[in-house]
Structure 1
């Protein structure tokens, strides 16, 4: 074994020892963060998001490695309204070392109905090797991965290291990152870096890590269908007058072929090889009910990573309990479309809007508003940052990482690319197929958490010795 290899092994062993020793402290800090119900959606108390930002800022200050740490907000678009508070920090690089930006978000999804949870959503509960709570994985574990990795680095090499580090812990990712672009512009000098780690994705399994190399984009909007100026008696006029729900249902049905594949001209797919993944595994991971058929065409992971989808995620209409014998004058749905890599969100929206307007039945009136865009993303895996990240994953996990696509979207990555075009972007994470992010009983696998921390600590240590 060469002297260089011995040094690398010694660094890995030292970091592993520190990460293991500090894990109870890290989990305690994570549970404190999780107990803060930092839901960023408009219907929830923004004071909890502010309290969460202050708690994160305190953890970062306690590291005693940053020149500046601040809680900041930026305006949403061209309005005077401010986005949710984020935390930014920076330490300058020295002696030619690179600077790395560590991103995560401290806001969380709404918990949903308490009765759907086995335990209280904001009271972290350990069962077996998992900790259950809203935000335990998505993405407060991402926040703590960054903090714990820096702790391990300082315990191993001291606080006077050369590597430059910036941190950006966002407070509104789950609410659409609506002030993200303005925030980047206002804090560009603080956040500028050679490489960016976005800790908001998942892993192939609890034993095999992933580097996310492809993300679908998204287009979401409200579609309202109207047929009447006011509600009318269904017995008096039914059979001659279309209620709004009838053309809405028929219109939505045109969005898919008989096998469930998207049937919208102009929405494209991305051609790429994907790992083997069985339909039975998909059924198991997604908890598909017996007798329910899967949808789509082609290899399973191509359907999930590289093809478009169109989903109705919400509907505004009278509830069954409040239904009366009337013809509805209008009904609305929220449509969420995932866009394959290689197509912009704006191009996809044009195709969706054209399809809807050309296929609306009975001359019903339609309105499309409240539109959100997010572009897809493909990682260049040939850069030094991706090479170092995969090497760190292999050493920390003891397994070769999978270069994986993700069916979900991280729309703000397009903003990062625009603002920092020369930075290499790495999408990592602490989730696994059983995490159930956004769902009841969200959880974090503690073994995955430890290995994710060790991976990042090892990456930081190696970049600390990189010059130029």
Structure 2
């Protein structure tokens, strides 16, 4: 029996233990948003820290940062000549939302049809459990050095996003496993190699001191809402492609969704067309997107027959992984300032920005993880990307400019993270755990050659 088969058997034997641990974690409503009980976050922290100690991580301690839930930090020293791997995840979760829309209580883990349902089951507690399982597969003595970083306020955001770059000595590693991502579809091992950047833009227009009668003055009085709608309509062409000069879009060569698959994943209404043209991956991962995520205007229920004097829109702009998000933000601001619908000046301002990320795919860690994934799933791994951003990735990369960044995880496109009825497939938990353990072995072997 080769070591790969042995690891597979070990992980399979541990699976009941790992799913049980995941259930214990899901039971804790570790929501780090303001207004939620802090003791639940602390309880989840203590459970994770304790389980890591049982898994061979001897140097477990807490990183206490201002106004931030505690970060679990631990280390296993590297055997002589072996590389070090940093394992990242988070134990906090999103709020459950309207619990009446869940098929089962969000904090009562429920196993059904090969899946475990519950808030945080996929995002990101199963990834934390996979780290623990990979360490236990070697009896707590992996063939690589390990640094474990499990944060407790990823969903809400905190100063920890910038901490690694400011304290690089704590985060030195040869490979960074950012396990807060997942597979393009269940059963298809996927390495996420790019993240789009993000920027916020606000557009305001004021045309009158107060509303005026639409019958008496409509037709000549400047309508703020009409002007805003006219300006927003210039952001896209007739096919729905972003039409702002200066926003980068490149061809995407990795895995892709089919049109039907994308429609099903996003819950599109029957017959609804997709926005834009070209491969879907190019549209959602390697090109820009501008979404109107908020609008200040009179609601229809209480609207009066009056010309609207003021309106405001909140735009979320996503940019190519290798484009400076501030540059993309400026492009949108300049575009809107030039529009002047009906000669009306718009007030356009920028908000927060977050950088995208593009990972190397030519190093020994990427090669080892690709091989490890094939062993775990039985099929070749593919490259994918995420339209969202993981701010910590850039900070971790800045602390380790020579390290390879590998983004992966238990999630799949139907796991409903952040939504109702979130679930993780037990098969994906098993395979991520095995892939990580196989990666430790293959990466260590490669370093010894």
- TM-score scaled by length of structure 1: 0.87
Q: CA deviation at 1:31?
A: 2.1
Return the match for 2:329 from 349, 357, 363: 349
Q: Tell me: CA distance 1:46–1:331, structure 2 relative to 1, closer, same or farther (3 Å).
A: farther
Q: 1:66 aligns with which of 45, 52, 58?
A: 58
User: Counterpart of 2:423?
Assistant: 443
Q: Is the 8 A contact 2:337 2:348 kept in 1?
A: no
Deviation at 1:399, TM superposition (A): 0.8
Aligned partner of 2:149 in structure 1 is 168
* Corresponding residue number in structure 2 for 1:458: 438
Shift of residue 342 of structure 1? Answer: 2.7
Give secondary structure in 1 for the equivalent of 2:385.
strand
Q: CA deviation digits over 1:45-102, x for unaligned, max 9?
A: 555434433332232233232323224225xxxxxxx334322212222312111100
Distance 1:333 1:268, change over 3 A: same
Call closer, same or farther: CA 1:331–1:395 in 2, change over 3 Å. same
1:230-288 deviation digits (Å, cap 9, x = unpaired): 55565665544445432222222221111111111111102342446432222222222
Q: Secondary structure at the match of 2:162?
A: helix
CA, structure 1 residues 230+44, in 2 after alignment: closer, same or farther (shift >3 Å)?
Answer: farther
Whole-angstrom distance in 2 between the partners of 1:196 and 1:259: 39
Which residue number corresponds to residue 414 of structure 1?
Answer: 394
Q: Which residue of 1 aligns with 2:169?
A: 189
Any conservation in 1 of the 2:239–2:276 contact (CA below 8 Å)?
Answer: yes
Deviation at 1:393, TM superposition (A): 0.4
Q: Secondary structure at the match of 2:180?
A: strand
Correspondence 1:260 to 2:240: yes
Aligned counterpart for 2:10 among listed residues 9, 18, 23: 18
Query: Which aligned pairs between 1:116-155 and structure 2 lie closer than 5 A?
Result: 116-154=101-139
Residues 231/124 of structure 1: CA separation in 2 closer, same or farther (3 Å cut): farther
Worse-superposed segment, 252-261 or 11-20 = 11-20
Give the deviation of 1:307 after TM superposition: 1.4
**What are the residue-to-residue correspondences of 1:64-463 with 2, within 5 Å?**
64-74=56-66, 82-154=67-139, 159-161=140-142, 163-175=144-156, 177-185=157-165, 187-230=167-210, 238-275=218-255, 277-324=257-304, 328-362=308-342, 363-369=344-350, 371-463=351-443
- With 375-384 and 328-337 compared, the bigger mean Cα shift is at 328-337
Residue 411 of structure 1 and its aligned partner are, at CA, apart by 3.1
Q: State whether residues 20 and 450 of structure 1, in contact with CA within 8 Å, keep that contact through their aligned partners in structure 2.
A: yes
Q: Contact conserved, 2:201 with 2:348, CA < 8 A, in 1?
A: no
Q: Distance in 1 between matches of 2:199 and 2:217?
A: 37
Q: Aligned equivalents of 1:101 and 1:60: distance in 2?
A: 14
Find the aligned partners of 2:95 and 2:307 in 1 and give their Cα distance: 33
Closer, same or farther: CA 125–353 of 1 in aligned 2, 3 Å:
same
Q: Cα distance, 1:324 vs. partner?
A: 4.9
Alignment deviations for residues 92-139 of structure 1 (CA, whole Å, 9 cap, x no partner):
223121111001122223333233322223322222112222211111
Instruction: Judge conservation of contact 2:201–2:333 (CA < 8 Å) in 1.
Output: no
Specify every segment of 5 or more residues in structure 1 that has no aligned partner in the other structure, as ranges: 1-5, 75-81
Q: Deviations over 1:362-416 (max 9, x none)?
A: 52542525x2222222222110100100010011111111122233322332222
Q: How far did residue 421 of structure 1 move?
A: 0.3
Which one is further off, 145-154 or 353-362?
A: 353-362
Q: For structure 1, which segment, 356-365 or 343-352, has the greater mean C-alpha deviation from structure 2 after superposition?
A: 356-365
Q: How far is the alpha carbon of 1:42 from its aligned partner?
A: 4.2
CA distance in 2, matches of 1:421, 1:344: 18
Instruction: Give the Cα separation in 2 of the matches to 1:311 and 1:72.
Output: 36
Compared with structure 1, are the counterparts of its residues 23 and 41 closer, same or farther at alpha carbon in structure 2 (3 Å cutoff)?
same
Q: Distance in 2 between matches of 1:87 and 1:241?
A: 60
Per the TM alignment, residue 322 of structure 1 is displaced from its structure 2 partner at its CA by: 4.8
